[in-house]
């Protein structure tokens, strides 16, 4: 799980800090955002204090109708030790009671000229991306015909060499050796490269090469959603490999299951072409065209005719 501080949010969205500067380093533990309308009315029984609090025109117009004592009490309750930040939208002036309470409790108060709905959407997307569950996998991620293909396998099996050939064919490299994977939503895994090795590819006997410098900016991508896993393994004579494609193997990464194909490697096999076809076939299956099922149906029809 990643970490986000209030200061990162302030810098990302160019927010103006009004008060509570001492708490600018507070961590935001959850991507949910709270609009404390009920709290403005005095109901704090289920107050989600650990969320970013977003005040818009509706909350503040009601707040202005309260008595001076009620305004002070409500703002003191709104500013807790767990509250990461309070943000006022539409560029509305911050109430004096909120400034006093935030200074007392060291809760950062910031403003944005954006509308409440627009800012809430942008901030939620930003926090979900930063706070998404994360893992790292040894492999290569390539964008093939718009399909994010994660190539895995033991060290030395030929993952990077295959990726290089795919790049030469016009496909795009996302990450080599280490793929950082974020689960940004239900059944949505996004892979990227660590900044240290971004755009780099290691070829044994040649060394580290910069794909963007050699092949241009169109040969690389910063990130890509992962749809298919292809595991390369040395050909095992004792093992039976799937020849029809009727059985679909799965690989679970974080909380998402991905389609996995096992491709045996031996001299003479053109892995880049096989992986290209696998990506195209995966896309066709998602469009409802399954060659293996069609073949099985034809075979069953022939057997039925012969039986009759």
Residues taking part in catalysis: 138, 159, 177, 243
- The annotation status of 92 as a binding-site residue, yes or no, is no
Write out the two tokens for 184.
């940004």
Half-sphere exposure in the Cβ direction for 133 (13 Å, CA): 10
Does the annotation flag 276 for ligand binding?
no
Q: State the Rg of the chain over Cα.
A: 27
Residue 157 is labelled as binding a ligand: yes
Which ranges of the chain would DSSP assign to H, the alpha helix? 6-12, 37-40, 57-63, 68-78, 96-105, 116-130, 159-168, 211-215, 271-286, 291-307
Angle at 194 between CA 156 and CA 160, to 5 degrees: 25
153 is in an annotated binding site: yes
CA distance 78 to 72: 10
Q: Residue 72, annotated ligand binder?
A: no
Q: Please, which residues bridge with residue 34 across strands? A: 53
Tokens of 262: 């096992």
Q: Which among 53, 192, 185, 54 is positioned nearest to 128, based on CA atoms?
A: 185
Annotated binding site: 153-160, 202
Annotated binding site for Mg(2+): 160, 202
Annotated binding site for ATP: 153-160
């Amino acid at each position: 799980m990643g970490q986000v501080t209030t200061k990162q949010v302030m810098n990302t969205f160019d927010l103006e800090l009004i008060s509570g500067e001492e708490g600018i380093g507070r961590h935001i533990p959850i991507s949910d955002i709270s609009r404390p309308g009920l709290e403005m009315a005095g109901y704090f029984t289920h107050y989600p204090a650990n969320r970013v609090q977003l005040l818009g025109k509706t909350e503040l117009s009601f707040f202005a109708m309260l008595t001076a004592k009620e305004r002070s009490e409500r703002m003191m309750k709104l500013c807790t030790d767990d509250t990461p930040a309070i943000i006022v939208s539409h560029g509305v002036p911050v109430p004096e009671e909120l400034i006093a309470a935030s200074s007392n409790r060291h809760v950062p108060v910031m403003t944005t000229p954006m509308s409440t709905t627009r800012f809430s959407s942008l901030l939620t997307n930003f926090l979900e991306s930063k706070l998404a569950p994360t893992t790292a996998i040894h492999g290569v991620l390539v964008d093939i015909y718009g399909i994010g293909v994660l190539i895995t396998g033991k060290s030395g099996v030929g993952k990077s060499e295959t990726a290089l050939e795919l790049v030469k064919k016009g496909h795009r490299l996302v990450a080599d050796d280490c793929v950082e994977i974020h689960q940004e939503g239900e059944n949505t895994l996004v892979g990227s490269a660590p900044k240290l090795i971004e755009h780099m590819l290691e070829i044994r006997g040649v060394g580290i090469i910069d794909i963007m410098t050699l092949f241009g900016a169109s040969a690389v991508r910063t990130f890509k959603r992962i749809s298919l896993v292809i595991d390369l393994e040395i050909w095992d004579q004792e093992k039976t490999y799937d020849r029809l494609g009727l059985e679909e193997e799965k690989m679970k990464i974080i909380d998402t299951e991905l389609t996995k194909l096992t491709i045996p490697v031996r001299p003479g096999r053109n892995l880049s072409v096989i992986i290209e076809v696998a990506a195209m076939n995966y896309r066709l299956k998602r469009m409802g065209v399954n060659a293996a099922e069609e073949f099985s149906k034809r075979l069953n029809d022939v057997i039925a005719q012969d039986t009759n």
